[in-house]
Amino acid sequence: MISRLTLAAGVLALSAGAGAAQTLTYATGFPPGSDAVLAAETYAAAMEEHSGGALSVKVFPMSLLSFAETSSGLRDGIADIGWVATAYFPAEYPHINLIAELSLLTTMDDVEGREGLAYAGAMAEYIFGACAACRADFAAQNQVFTGAASSTPYGLQCTGPVASLDALKGKRLRVAGSQWSRWAQAVGATPVSLPLNEVYEGLSQGVIDCVITSAPEITNMGLIDVVKAVDMSTPGGVYAANGPVNMNAATWAALSDEGREAVLRAGAAFAADVSWRYEEGAARALEAAREKGVEVTAPDPALSEATAAFIAQDLDSIATYYAETHGIADAGEIVAAFRPILEKWIGLTREVGSAAELEQLYWDEVYSGVDASTYGQ
């Protein structure tokens, strides 16, 4: 019997050979109208432009596949392209998650306001060019990495103020990565794993007390209706554990070299658009929260000191954690190799003034260097 995946690849190859336009499906767990979905529409437009109309993308927001379903759904060919949140799957994507968890380093750098822009560039450069193990993690799930993305800094969004260590003790915090899980435990809270799609309900029903996420999600995910206090300076770090435009391996293999280059061009456009939207959206979301009566707090000195101490300690222990938990024998070497790449991108993105400039920077520095004829094979 012909499998669904084989049939899909065959149809794609046939239509590409006949010169017909091909529509690719894109699945994301974000809801319609969110920054990530608006960026996906930019991605679709870039795909059509750079392929000369040979490729188009149909975006399915929060419908075809949820965040929890996208990894396996993309693997099985239910969608051609999808936003894979790798932190949801620690066993499947340990190498990507390791470098993503180094994002707490941004709290120690002179990068305020550009954290996500720098991290998206650094992740793309490292995964495309230096991390064969990262690419192998994706290949094992029948996927090809074609672009990165990063959020703005992660902070506390809660049903009540938590500006002190005493207030945090015993609180249930939804976390999106093991670095924040370790931080929660270090300050006396309890980390909880919960898909982003379920956070609104979790907060409204008291399943969790806070979510650690970026400021734009206050409005993107409708959290403005259920949170009462936010502290966007604690604990810090960005979410970069993503394959936001990962492609099914059979879909990628069936494309011509020109089609693959169009995918990479669109990947650079997506990375720039979503990262820039998040940077601009953070201030808007916080202003909307204030207007709604949400209290915007800052941590007291004891909480700030505890967080800084944790970050310094975690930087030293993260390699050991990944070696012992996920069997990455060269975790220390990965940490050492990624650090200068991030520092480089902090410098490269410091003076960027628009999403268009950022897209060109990503393309020139990283995406244009990927050999479309051999990559992903």
- Helix runs in the chain, H state only: 4-17, 35-50, 67-75, 94-100, 115-129, 132-140, 165-168, 178-186, 199-204, 217-220, 249-254, 257-291, 301-326, 331-348, 355-365
Can you say whether residue 210 is alpha, beta or left, with left for phi > 0 and alpha for psi between -120 and 50 degrees? beta
Q: What's the confidence (pLDDT) of residue 248?
A: 98
pLDDT in tens, the chain (377 residues): 333 343 344 434 434 444 578 999 999 999 999 999 999 999 999 999 999 999 999 999 999 999 999 999 999 999 999 999 999 999 999 999 999 999 988 887 666 778 999 999 999 999 999 999 999 999 999 999 999 999 999 999 999 999 999 999 999 999 998 899 999 999 999 999 998 889 999 999 999 999 999 999 999 999 999 999 999 999 999 999 999 999 999 999 999 999 999 999 999 999 999 999 999 999 999 999 999 999 999 999 999 999 999 998 988 789 999 999 999 999 999 999 999 999 999 999 999 999 999 999 999 999 999 999 999 98
Q: What is the model's pLDDT at position 109?
A: 65
Taking only Cα atoms into account, the Rg of the chain, rounded to an integer number of angstroms, comes to: 20
Select from 176, 183, 172 the least CA-distant residue to 242.
Answer: 176
* CATH among 3.40.50.720, 3.40.47.10, 3.90.1150.10, 3.40.190.10 for 154-238+295-315: 3.40.190.10
Residue 218 and residue 286: Cα distance in Å, rounded? Answer: 8
Task: Estimate to the nearest angstrom the gap between the alpha carbon of 15 and the chain centroid.
Answer: 32
CATH number for the region 4-152+240-284+329-369 comes to: 3.40.190.170
**Tokens representing residue 216 in the block:** 């734009």
- In this prediction, residue 376 carries a pLDDT of 95
- What does the angle CA 227 – CA 228 – CA 232 come to, to the nearest 5 degrees? 75
> Looking at residue 307, what is its pLDDT?
95
The full set of domain ranges for the chain reads 4-152+240-284+329-369, 154-238+295-315
Whether the Cβ atoms of residue 310 and residue 245 lie closer than 8 Å to each other: no
What pLDDT, on the 0 to 100 scale, is given for residue 197?
A: 85
Cα–Cα distance between 263 and 257 in angstroms, integer? 10
Q: How far apart are CA 210 and CA 192, in angstroms?
A: 10
User: What pTM value is reported for the model?
Assistant: 0.89
Residue 145 half-sphere exposure toward CB, CA atoms < 13 A: 30
Q: Do domains 4-152+240-284+329-369 and 154-238+295-315 have the same CATH topology?
A: yes
| pLDDT score, position 372 | 97
3-state secondary structure 280-337: HHHHHHHHHHHHCCCEECCCCHHHHHHHHHHHHHHHHHHHHHHHHHHCCCCHHHHHHH
